[in-house]
Chains A and B, each alone.
Chain A
């Protein structure tokens, strides 16, 4: 068998191969069947079609990202410029009436317990309470009843 230090001459081996080639071709030549060639053709066509689909998808993806970004910007802009529904402004009189009623309802019983005489004048009590809460400028002017506490 072959020894590791053998060296071979390229020209000589080429000549030998060329001498053997015609006989080897005649003896060993073979061709693939038509069915195999047809399957290769079909496979090649399918691969091309798949490649075309991938190319279209890639092109579509190229536009998809900028389109999505543009849609996002448009949505944000629309939200920003949309007229927001104005909160209902309570009428001053109604507000004051409400506060008076509330204050009266909450504190009337307590005040009446502490000072039965004040409890009889609901309006006066409400005014005082409003003054205490800072809704009016100052304590109401003392009335004669205040001097009889």
Chain B
């Protein structure tokens, strides 16, 4: 899962703080794919994703010297997640992914429908990859972020729980229901558990 050596990240960040821009370029490139995929999956548009990705690294750059403890990867992902939350709040000021709603205390992000149109219309005639992308985009945000962090970001559930500030069981539950929903919407094709 951690195919990137975390200590290299710390070293790169340290080198950047000491004056090497190239070290930061390397750090960005090491995480750009997974991080941008997550941000793109949570953002409303490609343009917003580009802005959020830049905002994430701008915040990281600004606070690089004060980074203490933990892993750089977890730190950057937490910054990205906060940037995403800020963007969601700008779009819907009263909404929070973790705001409890309903009698069972399930967070809003678990109950909201996705932003897009219903999956069958959206994916008709598209190849499997595009169908999966559309279904993922239609997941409730709280499930979608965990699904993306775990699958495209290769973060462990423990890391995800720490980044989101939620119990491990909650993270596992959101992933569980995300997969159930994907299987249902994709008609059970291919992804047996």
A positions within 8 Å CB-CB of B: 1-4, 6-10, 12-17, 19-21, 23-33, 35-37, 39-41, 43-45, 47-48, 51-52
Contacts and interface: CB of A to CB of B under 8 A. Distances in A.
B34 to A, nearest CB: 9
Interface of B: 16, 19, 21, 24-25, 28-29, 32-33, 36-37, 40-41, 49-50, 53-54, 57-58, 61-62, 64-65, 102, 104-106, 110-111, 128-133, 136, 147-148, 150-152, 154, 157, 168-169, 172-177, 179, 182, 190-193
Given A23-B190, A36-B53, A36-B54, A16 B175 contact: yes
A59 to B, nearest CB: 15
A147 B37 CA distance: 130
B50 A36 contact: yes
Contacts of B57: 40, 43-44
Nearest to B174: A2
A13 B132 contact: no
A20 B54 CA distance: 28
B19 A1 contact: no
Contacts, number: 144
A81 B39 CA distance: 73
A28 B148 contact: yes
Given A13-B176, A27-B132, A28-B133, A48 B151 contact: no
